[in-house]
Amino acid sequence: MIKIQSITKTFGERVVLNEISGTFEKGKPNLIIGASGTGKSVLLKSIVGLTKPDYGQVFYDGRDFYGSDRETKIEIRREMGMLFQGGALFDSKNVEQNVMFPLDVLTKMPQEEKLERVNFCLKRVGLENVNSKMPSEISGGMKKRVGIARAIVNNPNYLFCDEPNSGLDPQTSILIDELILDLSEDLDITTIVVTHDMNSVMGIGEKIMFLYKGVKLWEGANTDITHSGVKELDDFVFANKVMNSLRGK
């Protein structure tokens, strides 16, 4: 479980995150949703420690991340896996080397064991026989899958995904969403997914946090999202034509 408290971040005069608190539960995807530019990515980066918030705390199963010394921080870091928006694969390495990379630098596993683990994870995300392909040779959806495989290869306790299905076709998006859902349940890890995709929200949004201009306006499950009574959330939800056709039903 990850707990955040009063996360606040300003860039110059601009308050991008204003006192965000909440919890993210284990064994399921926790969604952070909102329109573009509302601070979702900044919030995710503040949680994993890539952007230091002005103040606020993040607790990883009770361990205060920002209050820790360097060693504890690295220890917590090494329990994280993260999927970046574009995949963020190392473009000088092939698929296999990319997925193996965390094992290379973080563990002392023998080579055969690493390879076995890599192939297991690639298979888990539905990729086989692409081990020697370079990132420039594979499609966007495949890059995301490789990114997921790399994120889970070292058995993380926490998985973070920033817009996992941006730039993907609807079918591939659904597959990626289901993969994230399955992984969170099977591996029993705490997963946080940032998205602005209503398909994902309705598909895997068991637990949702809605951000609007840096403020948390609503929290709940997708089953309640259509009747939240929050105007900004309605605007967000019903901006989607399909959703709008369901309005009032």
Residue numbers at the binding site for another protein (CB under 8 A): 45, 48-50, 70, 73-75, 77-78, 80-82, 84-86, 88-91, 101-102, 104-106, 160
Indicate the residue among 81 and 214 with the shorter CB distance to another protein: 81
Shortest Cβ 50–ligand ADP spacing (Å): 10
Q: Which does 82 bind (CB under 5 to 8 A by kind): Mg ion, another protein, ligand ADP, none?
A: another protein
**Which residue minimizes CB distance to Mg ion?**
41
Per partner kind, with CB cut-offs from 5 to 8 A, the member of another protein, Mg ion, ligand ADP, none near residue 100 is: none
Report which residue's Cβ sits closest to ligand ADP. 41
Q: What is the DSSP string of the chain?
A: -EEEEEEEEEETTEEEEEEEEEEE-TTSEEEEE--TTSSHHHHHHHHHTSS--SEEEEEETTEESTTS-HHHHHHHHTTEEEE-TT----TTS-HHHHHHHHHHHH----HHHHHHHHHHHHHHTT--S-TT--GGGS-HHHHHHHHHHHHHTT--SEEEEESTTTTS-HHHHHHHHHHHHHHHHHHT-EEEEEE--HHHHHHH-SEEEEEETTEEEEEE-TTTGGG---HHHHHHHTTSHHHHHHTT-
Which among ligand ADP, Mg ion, another protein, none contacts residue 90 (Cβ within 5 to 8 A by kind)?
Answer: another protein
If binding means CB under 6 A, how many residues of this protein chain bind ligand ADP?
Answer: 10
Interactions with ligand ADP, residue window 12-51 (CB under 6 A): 16, 34, 36-42
Report the residue number, 114 or 216, with the smaller CB distance to ligand ADP: 216
Residue (2 or 122) nearer to ligand ADP, CB: 2
